[in-house]
Amino acid sequence: MRISRRGLIGGTIAAGVTGALGALALQYRRSRGEGVPAAAMIGSAADGVGMKYRDFGSTGMKVSEVGFGAWGIGGRAYGPVDRAEAFRALARAEELGCNFVDTAAVYGDSEALLGEFLRGRRDRWLISTKYSAQPEGVERTIEDQLRRLGTDVIDFYQIHFSPGRDEGHLYEALYRLKKAGKARAIGVSLKNVYDIDRVLDETEVDGFMVALSLLDPEPFLSRVRRLREKRVAVVIRSALKEGFLTGRFTRDTTFTDPTDQRSTWSPERIAETIEAAERFKFLEAEAGSMVLAAASYPLAFPETSTVVLGTDKLSYAEVNFGEVPRFRLSTASLERIAQLQNQMGLRRSFRDFVVEKLRTVVNAVRY
């Protein structure tokens, strides 16, 4: 049998491509941490145990697995705030074992309100706040925040966005704050896989904040294996998808208060989000409410350090810190969630993974 030179080269190329795709497929499966929803579950459904505590990465701090999200009590995100009610919510959260509160200077009166609440009880709480590109710079900004919060150190200080490649000075400022004892741990609030990779590869931060919900499993799931290996602190935000996973809203819901950030959402966006959220309503049968189901989802992953839940009312505190820590989604539910997320195109596909790899190579050559 005669084999032409062209055929031999073509066969070699085809074999090489097949081999490369096979290797990429293996990397893809490993990057997703296959089996994570079932294998990574901590506790069991309705295990009856109260607040639990997790390692905050490699910092040595122990953090309540549910944290107090203080954006809402600042009055610039979800409507006007009843200060007395906010204090009651904070006090109840503390009673139920919460020891982590997340805020920022741009959250209206949030830091000042917290500073008032924390008088005489600072040692019971870990404070997380952020630099949000204030023109005066990182180090002058934190001095104002320390004053408002009534403390001499921030337990977890973050940049409120992912610095660009020409903003390395922001990381240097974080390092100086940590060395000076103004921050015990430092981090960044991130949005995509490229942000996560750059932070893990090029910085010395202790952790970061990222969204993770039933409707937003990415970018967390795409990097869950790296998070496990690096042992960084991971603060989860938006687990309730701005309230749309609580079951309280309908397609006709409107947000007319200009101080509510959802007032900028179009009717189409609201309807689409509600429609997507309703596909997970099967979880109510097990959890009893969508709040418990949605808030418990990120807690199924041991890579999660704490899930920050927005709380501005006493009734919310009872659920967020009293009921959520006592509930765990079953393995069967977690597997069904994964299947549904795949069907809805919410998880990264193999095609996305290959495109991401190609983009990484191109960026490496470019820079």
Q: What is the pTM of this model?
A: 0.84
DSSP single-letter state for residue 23: H
- As given in the structure block, the two tokens for residue 343 are 């069907």
Q: Are strands 53-55 and 66-69 parallel, antiparallel or unpaired?
A: unpaired
- Taking the C-alpha atoms of residue 105 and residue 116, their distance in angstroms, rounded to an integer, is 15
Cβ-based neighbours of 195, under 8 Å, separated by 6 or more: 162, 188, 219
- As given in the structure block, the two tokens for residue 78 are 């979800």
Cα distances (angstroms) measured from residue 161 to each of 46, 92, 164, 231: 36, 31, 9, 21
**Which pLDDT value is given to residue 17?**
45
Give yes or no for a contact between 80 and 205, defined as CB atoms under 8 angstroms apart.
no
The residue among 359, 66, 34, 79 whose CA lies nearest residue 222 is 34
**Which pLDDT value is given to residue 43?**
42
Could you tell me the CATH superfamily of domain 49-338?
Answer: NADP-dependent oxidoreductase domain (3.20.20.100)
**Which pLDDT value is given to residue 49?**
66
Per-residue tens of pLDDT for the chain, all 367 residues: 454 555 545 555 444 545 544 545 445 555 454 444 433 334 444 445 699 999 999 999 999 999 999 999 997 766 678 999 999 999 999 999 999 999 999 999 999 999 999 999 999 999 999 999 999 999 999 999 999 999 999 999 999 999 988 899 999 999 999 999 999 999 999 999 999 999 999 999 999 999 999 999 999 999 999 999 999 999 999 999 999 999 999 888 988 888 777 888 999 999 999 999 999 999 999 999 999 999 999 999 999 999 999 999 999 999 999 999 999 999 999 999 999 999 999 998 544 545 455 555 555 555 4
- Taking the C-alpha atoms of residue 172 and residue 166, their distance in angstroms, rounded to an integer, is 12
Enumerate the H helices of the chain as residue ranges.
5-31, 36-39, 83-95, 110-117, 138-149, 168-179, 193-202, 224-230, 267-278, 284-287, 290-296, 314-317, 331-343, 350-366
**Which pLDDT value is given to residue 358?**
55
- Taking the C-alpha atoms of residue 69 and residue 238, their distance in angstroms, rounded to an integer, is 10
Residue 122's SS3 state is helix
Provide the residue ranges of all domains of the chain, joining segments of one domain with +. Answer: 49-338
- Taking the C-alpha atoms of residue 256 and residue 195, their distance in angstroms, rounded to an integer, is 34
Q: Are strands 126-131 and 306-310 parallel, antiparallel or unpaired?
A: unpaired
**Which pLDDT value is given to residue 263?**
85
